[in-house]
Amino acid sequence: MARGHYKVSARVRSANPEGVRSVLAASFPRGSIRAEEDGFLIEAEADGESAKELNRSLLSSLRRVEKRTTLRAEWTSADGTTERYFDYVLKKTHTS
């Protein structure tokens, strides 16, 4: 499968914000990671096999630090297809 380029907009919540921050910084070195009272907002770009694989990989890394971490993410591909995930579950796909 060909690698694709994706824009991600996500909200991460965790009981271990400092640990999660380091994973986010490593995952998105050039992205925007903004701390909020209840977690982090991420605006970044990533390359990978699919939005599903990128989402799975990110959540797995976050949960190695804190098991109860949650991820709500929206991945938009170069062709305009947007996939919304809550943790590992695809909730909605939209093509512009």
Outline where DSSP puts E strands in the chain.
4-13, 32-36, 39-48, 70-77, 81-86, 89-95
pTM: 0.93
β 70-77/4-13 pair status: antiparallel
- Name the more confident of 73 and 95: 73
Query: Per-residue pLDDT tens for 11-69?
Result: 999 999 999 999 999 999 999 999 998 899 999 999 999 999 999 999 999 999 999 99
pLDDT of the residue at 15: 93
Which strands, in side-by-side order, build the sheet including 89-95?
32-36, 39-48, 4-13, 70-77, 81-86, 89-95
pLDDT for res 1 = 57
Give the three-state DSSP class for 23: helix
- 82 HSE (CA, 13 A, CB side): 11
